[in-house]
Amino acid sequence: MSADTPCAKPLPQILPETAGFWEAARRHRFVVQRCTGCGRRQYFPRAVCHHCLSEALAWEEVSGRGVIHSFTIIRQVQHAGFSSDVPYVYAVIDLDEGFRMIANIIRTPPECVRVGLAVKVAFADVTPELTLLQFESA
Amino acid sequence: MSLKGRSAIIGFGETTFAKGRQSGGRSHLKEQCTAARLAIQDAGIAKDEIDGLVAIGPLDHGSSWSMDLAEYLQLRPTFLDTPYFGGAAGNAGILHAAAAIQAGLCRTVLLVGGSVSQPGPPAPYGVEDSVSFERDFDTPFGPMGDNSAYALIKRRYQHEFGAGEEGFAQVVVNARRHAGRFDNALLRAPVTVDDVLHSRLICDPLRMFEIVMPCTGAVALVLTSAERARDARQKPVYLLGGGQAIDRGMWTPAYGRDPSLTTSPIRRSASAAFAMAGVTIADIDCLQLYDCYTITVIIALEDVGCCAKGEGAALVAGTDLTVGGDLPVNTDGGQLGRGQPYGACHFMPVIETARQLMGRAGPLQVAGARFGLAHGNGGAMANQCTLILGNEIP
Ligand SMILES: [Zn+2]
């Protein structure tokens, strides 16, 4: 995925409850929410803690390391914004901290990607405000 | 007070399915009205007897579809519902209707769904109106809609259980075998395991023949109280049990899924349905399993209890799951054999179950069928609704 092409791709919108996540990503830090009520963590960022429904949430940095739970190689374009990327890897990643998330596996040939592959976060700057959390072979 | 035996299907109807490019002159409303007329005629009731309406509109129409269809048909129902959560919505609509009948909100419910398929590629995934967490934490990575979501599940399944491709391909072979003997099916030509394995790789590891083909069509059925059903023209097919279970949002491929993509909430929806019905999987004479993809059938077979977790692909490869075999599955050809008319596909499993249990399946009749299981699956195996039906009340 090249990060410097003019971006016709669908982009995240920054919401009050996710602003802290995107602000950290812009500084190449990966943060999740920890609830100051019950002490548990969650990904993706939400307006409330999904464990106890508290709104008292603080940001906490995580390792950005994990393994690929599953993936597919997308060979056919459905959204024009991705036409120069095919084939690309769309993957589910299990983070060491116990979260599961979606990202592309970049800077890694698709034929080398497999279930269980160790990966680490790779920050992809898309616009001055937005940095996506991608992953690459660790 | 359970829903067991308190309501029954007394009629159904289907329009003639058509491929998108052969759908000229059809409209969403026309399709649904035709299916409704056929179902009402099949039930042998007057239109004015309908006092409940469950209607599933085309994908791009909103939640007022049942009101709009009621206006178009000049129905005045006292119970309306537009269930809107993918392929589980049809069976969920049956449960809602059965509960409404039992509660006395209405007596005879028309359930209808279907749409016209536009030729050409589907709209880009990731439209602006998707839910914010999908838009912000999934869509930016270029998913391919349902295809990529199900590809992730198939890949993980093959990884965990060492399953090869044969069982997956055999799901398609069986579907086409049934479809070739079912009048209202679009994919009637037989295929071999080899044909499936040589079809184009769309979204690794999903091949073209493993993915449903969208098409045009509508279906409808009539559900009424068990008392009213006793005087009906058709042999009543009673709702004996039902259950619904979810484990995450519609298309979010992962966040709430623990521990694995291969574990589905079908276990819970099927257990609830069996418990209510008071029967077990051993009593079931035919299964109609929502089959948007081959992997959906394999996981459903496991989670409704036909075999242990991880043995579904081997079960399909090693067992005759066609009519005349040990365990007839998707006896009308399913969506992989018939095509997928959005809105209609939600009701296809329950209608085929009724067809079998009324003894009206012609060359595909399962001899002596008494009990059937109809399963609906919505999102990326996120939302599951299982029904048990019978032509007697055990
Ligand atoms: Zn909390």
- Reported as a single tens digit per residue, the pLDDT across B63-74 is 789 999 999 999
Question: Count of domains in chain A?
Answer: 2
Instruction: Please enumerate in sequence order all residues whose Cβ is within 8 A of that of B349, keeping only pairs 6 or more positions apart, or say none.
Output: B90, B91, B288, B289, B290, B374, B375, B376
Position A1 scores a pLDDT of 45
Sheet holding B108-115, edge to edge: B79-81, B52-56, B108-115, B217-225, B7-14, B237-246, B383-390, B371-378, B286-289
pLDDT for residue B129: 58
Pick from A46, A70, A85 the residue to mutate for testing the B interface (most B CBs within 10 Å): A70
pLDDT at B20: 86
Is the CB of residue B148 less than 8 Å away from at least one CB of chain A? Answer: yes
Q: Which token pair is A81?
A: 């914004």
* Cβ partners under 8 Å of residue B86, min gap 6: B250, B346, B377, B378, B379, B382, B383
**Chain A residues in contact with B204 (beta carbon < 8 A):** 72-73, 75
Q: Do A43 and B255 touch (CB under 8 A)?
A: yes
Whether A131 is covered by a domain: the verdict is yes
Q: Kindly identify which residue of chain A lies nearest to residue B150, measuring between CA atoms.
A: A72
Q: Which chain A residues touch B144 with a CB distance below 8 Å?
A: 72, 74, 76, 78, 90
In this prediction, residue B123 carries a pLDDT of 61
Domains of chain B are 7-119+212-390 (3.40.47.10)
Question: Hey, is B30 helix, strand or coil?
Answer: helix
A2 domain residue, yes or no: no
Which domain-ending residue is among A62, A83, A100? A62
Q: What is the ipTM of this complex?
A: 0.94
The alpha-carbon gap from A92 to the nearest alpha carbon of chain B, in Å, equals 7
A79 lies in the same domain as A58: no
Confidence of residue A121 (pLDDT cuts 50, 70, 90): very high
At A65, give phi and psi (nearest 5°).
-110, 145
Distance A129 CA to ligand 1 centre (A): 29
Cβ–Cβ contact A2 with B under 8 A: no
Best CA proximity match to B312, nearest among B300, B327, B324: B300
Min CA distance, A24 vs chain B (Å)? 15
Distance from CA of B57 to the nearest CA of A (A): 24
What's the confidence (pLDDT) of residue A72?
96
Work out the angle at residue B18's Cα, subtended by the Cα atoms of residues B15 and B24, and round it to the nearest 5 degrees: 100
**Paired strand residues for B56:** B113
Would you state the pLDDT for residue A3?
Answer: 47
**Any idea of the CA torsion for B200, B203, B204, B205, to the nearest 10 degrees?**
-70
pLDDT digit of tens for each residue in chain B (394 aa)? 799 999 999 999 999 999 988 888 999 999 999 999 999 999 999 999 999 999 998 877 767 899 999 999 999 999 999 988 889 999 999 999 999 999 999 999 999 999 999 876 666 554 555 678 888 999 999 998 889 999 999 999 999 999 999 999 999 999 999 999 999 999 999 999 999 999 999 999 999 999 999 999 999 999 999 999 999 999 999 999 999 999 877 776 566 556 788 988 999 999 999 999 999 999 999 999 999 999 999 999 999 999 999 999 999 999 999 999 999 999 999 999 999 999 999 999 999 999 999 999 999 999 999 999 999 999 889 899 999 999 999 9
Phi/psi region, residue B86 (left: phi>0; alpha: psi -120 to 50; beta: rest), is left
What is the CB-side half-sphere exposure of residue A65 using CA atoms within 13 A?
4
pLDDT in the model for residue A44: 92
Q: What is the pLDDT of residue B103?
A: 97
Same-domain check for residues A82 and A128 = yes
pLDDT recorded at residue B243: 98
Closest chain B residue to A11, measured at CA:
B140
Which residues of chain B make contact with A81, given a CB cutoff of 8 A? 142
Pair (A72, A138) in one structural domain: yes
Report the CATH number that the domain containing residue A115 is assigned in CATH. Answer: 2.40.50
pLDDT digits (tens, 9 = 90+) for A72-90: 999 888 788 998 999 999 9
Please check whether residue A3 lies inside any domain of the structure: no
Mind listing the pLDDT tens digit for each residue in B314-324? 999 999 999 99
A21, A42, A93, A102, best to mutate vs chain B, most B CBs in 10 Å: A102
Give the C-alpha distances (Å, rounded to integers) separating B275 from B168, B283, B386: 30, 13, 12
- Smallest CA–CA distance, residue B185 to chain A, in Å, is 27
The amino acid at residue B253 is P
Q: Is A19 on the interface with B (CB under 8 A)?
A: no
Task: For residue A112, give its domain range.
Answer: 63-138
- Is A125 found in the same domain as A93? yes
Q: Are residues A104 and A135 located together in one domain of the fold?
A: yes
User: Chain B neighbours among A 36-95 (CB < 8 Å)?
Assistant: 43-44, 46, 69-76, 78-82, 85, 88, 90-92
Counting other chains too, the contacts that A74-79 makes at CB distance below 8 Å and 24 or more residues apart are A74/B142, A74/B143, A74/B144, A74/B148, A74/B203, A75/B201, A75/B202, A75/B203, A75/B204, A76/B144, A76/B202, A76/B203, A78/B121, A78/B122, A78/B124, A78/B125, A78/B144, A78/B145, A79/A9, A79/A10, A79/B124, A79/B125, A79/B126, A79/B142
Do residues A77 and A97 both lie within one domain?
Answer: yes
User: A57 with A110, same domain?
Assistant: no
Do A40 and A93 lie in one domain? The reply is no
Report the alpha-carbon distance of residue B307 to residue B319 in Å, rounded: 11
Pick the residue from chain B with its C-alpha nearest to A10. B140
For the ranges A14-18, A131-135, B61-65, the one whose mean pLDDT is highest? A131-135
